[in-house]
Every structure is written in C-alpha cells, then in structure tokens.
Amino acid sequence: MAATVTTEGTQSPARVPRRLIRRGRRARPDREPKLNWRIRLRRDKSLIIMTLPAVVLLLVFSYLPILGNITAFQYYDPLVGIWNSTWIGLQNFQQLFNDPLFWEAMNNTLAISAIQLVLFFPIPIMLALLLNSVLSQRLRSVIQSVALLPHFFSWVLVITLFQQMIGGAGLLNQFLRNHDIGVWNIMTDPTTFKLLVTSQVIWKDAGWGIIVFLAALSAIDQNLYEAAAVDGAGRWRRMWHITLPGIKGTIVLMLVLRLGNILNVGFEQLLIQRQAVGHDAADVLDTFSYYYGIATNNYGYGAAAGIFKSVISLVLVYGANKLAHLFGEDGLYRS
Amino acid sequence: MSTLSLGGTRRRNSDRPIWEEPPTAAGQAAKGTVLTLIVLVILVPMYSVVVTSLSNQASINDAGGMVLVPHGLTLSAYRTILSGGPVARALIVSLAITLVGTVFSMVVSVLCAYGLSRSRSLGHRFVLMLLIVTMFVSAGLIPTYLVVVGLGGYDSYWALIIPSSVSVFNILVLRSFYSGTASELIDAARMDGANEWRILWSVVLPTSRAVTAVVTLFYAVGYWNSFFNVMLYMPVDSQKWPLQYVLYEYVNLGMNMPGQTNSGFGSGHSQTAPLSLQMAVVVLTLIPVLIAFPFLQKHLGKGMLTGAIKG
C-alpha cells in the first residue's frame, strides 16, 4: 500500500525518481510528468479491476455484436454458425433495396418522425412556459409530478390504458354507444395510426420533456423581466423578448438531437400495436428487422436492414452533434 | 395519488413579483382549464382502471365496460389473481428480475463509474471512449440476438438481465458526480490508509446518495418495464413470463385470463368479472412504479439535470 500512497499525487511529482519520468515529446513542461505505465498499473490496479466488469459486458454485448454484423453478408444459418455460413456478398442488401416492404417501413419511419417533430416537439416547450407562469409553487409541482408520471410506465401499460380509454370496448366508445352515435375504434384504424402513435408519445413523454426547458427557464435572470416591465413591456412582450431568447439555446439543442434520431421512432410501441393495425401502417425500420429477420429466421436479411439503419443513424447523430457544437452547445458529448 | 383540488387553489399574492400585472379573469380561466385538462387526461385512465379492477360484474354491466362511478367495490379480482396461477407467478418473476437485475446493474455501474472518476488513472481515457462509442454505434437487433442466443441465453432468465444490464448513460451520470466529490475528502481518507474500495464505500457513496438513488430507481423501473427482451428470448414458455408480458398476452391480445378458463367463463363460480381481472393485472404492473415514483421525483432535479448536462 505504501507505494500506492506515495505515487498518488499527494506528494509533489518532483520527488518521483527521475528514471521513472517519461522523457521525449510527451513530457511537456505544462503537464505533470508522466509516470512509467508499470508504476501506474500497480497504483491503479484496483481502479482498473473496478471498471473491468462493465468493460467485459460492453465488449460481449455491444462490441461483439458489431462484429456479428458480418451476418449481413452471409446466408446465415443458425445450425452451422457464423464461421460456416455461406458468403453471399451484397446480395442481402440488393434484395433489401428492391423490397417494397422495406421502403414501406422506411416511409413509415420518416413519416412518424416528421409528425412527431411537428406535433410533439413544441408541446413540452409550451407546457414548460405554461407551468412556469403558474405562481403557486405547490400547484406547479403537483401538476409537474402528474405530467411526469407516465414517462415511467412501460409501453405495454400505456397502450393498454389507451385501449381501455379509446379502444373498441373502451370508455369513449361506451359513451358513444350509450348515446347512439356509433363506434369508432381508433386503436385499430390504420389511417389515423400515425396520429395515434404521436398522441401516445405525447401522453407518455411530454411531462418528461419539460424538465430540461424548466431548467432553462429558471436560469433566466429575473432582473431582465423587471427591467422590461419598467420599460413598459407587457406579459406577451416579455415572453417574446426575454423568455424565448432565454431558452433558444435549449430549444435548438433539443431540436438538433431530435434530428439526429429521426430513424428512431418508438420500437416497442409499434411492435405491440402492429398486429392491431397491420404491417403496412405499423412497420418501421426496427420492426422490419425484427419481423423479417428474427421471426422468419432470415437473420442475414434482418441484419442488413439493421446495418442500413445503424450507419445512417450514426451519420445523423454525429452530424447533429457537430451542429449542436456549431450553436455553441454541448450536444451529446463534449470533445 | 391523492385527490387534487385544482379549482379552489388561490394564488398567493406574496409570490407575485411586484412589477407583474395582476392576471385577467379570462387568462386565469383559460390557464386553469388547460392545466386541469392535462391532469385529467393523465389521471382519469389510471383512476378508471383502478375502479374497474375493484368492481363486481353488476357494476361493470351497468357501466357497459370500464367503470367511472364506483359502486359495489370488491377485492375479488385481486384475490382470484393472487391466489395462484400465471399472474401470481408472473408477479414473482417480475419482482425477482427487478431485484436481481437492479443489484447487478448497480454494482457494475458504481464500480465502473468510480474507477473512471479518478482522473489520471491508467487507461481511463480509453475505457471512457469505449463507453461513449456505444452511445453512437449500436450493433443492431439481430447480431445482439445472435450473440445472446449463441451464449445460451434463449429461454433463460439471464438473457433478461445481463445483456442490457449496464447503461452507459447512467455510468456517465454517476461518474460525473463521483468526479465532483471533494478531493480533500478522498485525500484525507487515503492518508488514513483507506484503499480505493474503502474510499468508494465509505466516502464517495455516502456523499452521493441522491444520484445513487436516482440511478437505482432508473434501473429498477427499466427492469420492471422490460418487455421486448422477453418477446425476443423467452416467448415460448408462459411459465417464465414476467408481468409485462402477461399483460400483453392477456389484455392486449385478449388471451383467456386465468380464472376465466378455470372456473368456466361467466359461470356462477365466482363473482369476479373478466374485465376486472384484466384491470387488476394492469394495476399490479402500475403499483411498483407508483411506489418508486415519489422517490424518483424527489431526487430527480438534483440527480439528473446536473449529471446529464455535465455528461
């Protein structure tokens, strides 16, 4: 233990024996001198052991599957495994790009994403503004709690609740039947399915989305409001000239991050409802690789669809992050 | 959830900044309406589900389905479900998976986060990169499935826990907190002869209770809600299903409920209505989240926001 204590930086680095200090280009005067890696290994042994389980899990369940993507270039047969399956080159991709079902899934993905961008994205902002204008602290936190709650429900639960409210046997149709207006089973209607999906997302996650905007709102200097009021700016002018510019950065950041994720629309959500509305309305890229890959044992084909999505997603997320940096925001990570 | 009295809330004038105009009656009413609607849209479905699960066949018949005005409340649905059968088993499975999974996830995440939080340690930059890359590059569904199945995960419980056990985001949140622990504290502990394990256990963990609580609850809610992994890895053996999957099969796909099949559908054997049985399953999946939620909420502000933004 003694060695651990002396080298941990509690002492000045000058007392480390000279031969242990790495020379050469790396040894810049503005940095602390680097210790020999063997010494550091001994010093940091326990820290390294601590990170090991997580690293092993990541290697096995995140990195190994990345390599496993070579099944996309095979006619993968689970009986003979990845080493002995037949190589077919780009045939899976060719088939994919000629598959109308794939383009249908692509269309659905983009359409749902677009609808959510227009209908879902502004709602947390508006809610945050509304909530911020409620003065009573107690009332505000009660409403915020209620709005946040559904975020922690599973998709199965959310869809069950929707089913019981607006489904064929649900509360809404009970009411309609009792008043002889007729029946409208929204849950199984393919034509309005994309709007239904969006409303489910709003119900579940709007309350979650307001957190970041409320934080941005609370960071605005209250003196600005007072000064504006003294200058004669009314409620709406203050909102337009102080509040909105104050949270502009956050809005732009969230928008950019959302754009990076346009291929990720709720997976479980759509998977669960696929049977009720049919694949032509409910298939997105994720459900496509599930149904045409795993459920039909056509693994290589599904993997090809997965790669297509991963690569485009990577480019989008990377680009979105760069864009966020351009706006002076941190983005997903800070380099 | 206690009942809310939205209409009767009066604004306290002391909260109001002196420069702000008093609210107009119309504006006040509009705001009140919108906020009341939001709260109702979220609470009414839950309320209706709970009341229906507690209703007998007669009041369900009267209402024509879901019940809004309760009369004739009974616990018989819960008694039927919890007295054994698939739902009771699923409840136990879900609780076990949540407990074991959360403990496992937390041990791995806390250790990793602490290991990475002491900057200047050997290789921490490399491991950090390893973690962050996985936030950008996802392998995709099928290769992951093949790896898990290849390791013997099909139809076994560990496939529901191990492959998705660590969330890089949570590790980064924990790490940013641990990095913020006062270095004087850590140095003092080291002077007293504490090794890294001891420092983590006696110094860092006690000073970061809030974030530990939030991350624990996040993992717990995640395990409780896990559904897709069941669909992927153990769709065949209904004996092993956790509650979310039972909910999906029995309520969404309309499979026969236990108790319906046993006692003969709608026979005089029990007073329990099929719908109230289904709604009782919904309530059972709901309750743990409702219990965890106040704790989550309490720590969420300080726990998540700073951590998430610091990254």
Strand partners, A86: A75
Q: Cα–Cα–Cα angle for A259, B172, A264, nearest 5°?
A: 25
pLDDT tens string, chain A, 335 residues long: the values are 333 333 344 444 445 555 555 555 555 555 556 678 888 888 888 999 999 999 999 999 999 999 989 989 988 888 888 888 888 889 999 999 999 999 999 999 999 999 999 999 999 999 999 998 887 888 888 999 999 999 999 999 999 999 999 988 889 999 998 888 888 889 989 999 999 999 999 999 999 999 889 988 988 988 898 899 888 888 889 999 999 999 988 898 888 888 888 998 989 999 999 988 988 999 999 999 999 988 888 999 999 999 999 999 889 988 888 887 887 766 666 55
CB–CB of A127/A147 below 8 Å? yes
Q: Of chain A residues 55-74, which have a CB less than 8 A from chain B?
A: 55, 57-58, 60-69, 71
Determine whether the interchain pair B144/A61 forms a contact, defined as Cβ–Cβ distance below 8 Å.
Answer: yes
What pLDDT was estimated at residue A42?
Answer: 84
What pLDDT was estimated at residue A321?
Answer: 81
- CB < 8 Å to A50, chain B: 111-112, 114-115, 196, 200
3-state helix, strand, coil in chain B (%, to 5): 70, 0, 30
* Segment B113-164, tens digit of pLDDT: 999 998 778 888 899 999 989 988 888 899 999 999 999 989 999 999 999 9
Distance from CA of A94 to the nearest CA of B (A): 19
The structure tokens listed for B205 are: 């963990």
**What H or E segment, with its residue span, contains residue B202?**
none
- CB < 8 Å to B187, chain A: 10
Determine whether the interchain pair A137/B162 forms a contact, defined as Cβ–Cβ distance below 8 Å.
Answer: no
Q: A214-241 burial, b if ≥16 CB within 10 A, otherwise e?
A: bbbbeeeeeeebeebbeeebeeeebbee
CA A314 to chain centroid: 12
Q: Of B214, B195, B246, whose CA–CA distance to B88 is shortest?
A: B246
Q: Supply the DSSP symbol for A75.
A: E
Q: What percent of chain B has pLDDT over 70?
A: 86
Q: Which residue of chain A has the CA closest to B183? A: A10
Determine whether the interchain pair A37/B253 forms a contact, defined as Cβ–Cβ distance below 8 Å.
Answer: no
* Residue bearing tokens 């084909």: A301
What pLDDT was estimated at residue B311?
Answer: 35
Report the SS3 class of residue A232.
Answer: coil
ipTM above 0.95, yes or no: no
What pLDDT was estimated at residue B86?
Answer: 87
Strands (E), chain A: 74-75, 86-87
Rounded to 5 degrees, what are φ and ψ at A75? -90, 90
- Return all residues near A95 (Cβ < 8 A) that are at least 6 apart: A301, A304
